[in-house]
Amino acid sequence: MDVDLNLTVAADGHVGCRHCGARVGTSSATPLDLARRSERPSTAAGPGVHADPARFTDRPIALRQAFCPGCLVLLHTEIVPADEPTYREWSLR
């Protein structure tokens, strides 16, 4: 079953990359648990996110991204308070 342009669920339940076939998650309940992750300052998101977060909040803000461990295609991006767990927890149930 294809989830989106990047992810598919295999017959055994693992989540794989549609581009290279690498395992990205061990199950549909944890679809990105094997992904490579990056966390950087929110300003690393590009020219559209150039304002200093300190002007708006007293908490550090982070750009979090998840990539396929095989071909490094970008699977997930969020800009969130750095001291918080991910906001976008999801499953394929």
Q: What is the pLDDT of residue 87?
A: 61
pTM: 0.84
Instruction: Answer yes or no: is 36 within a domain.
Output: yes
Question: pLDDT digits over 15-55, tens only?
Answer: 999 999 999 999 888 889 999 999 999 888 888 877 788 88
The 10 Å Cβ neighbour count of residue 56 is 9
- Stretch (H or E) spanning 25: strand 23-25
Distance CA 15, CA 8 (A): 6
Range of the domain at 25: 7-81
Question: pLDDT digits over 59-93, tens only?
Answer: 999 999 999 999 999 999 998 999 988 766 666 65
Instruction: Answer yes or no: is 26 within a domain.
Output: yes
Q: What is the pLDDT of residue 22?
A: 97
Instruction: Answer yes or no: is 86 within a domain.
Output: no
Domains identified in the chain, total number: 1
- Among 71, 3, 74, smallest CA distance to 38 is for 74
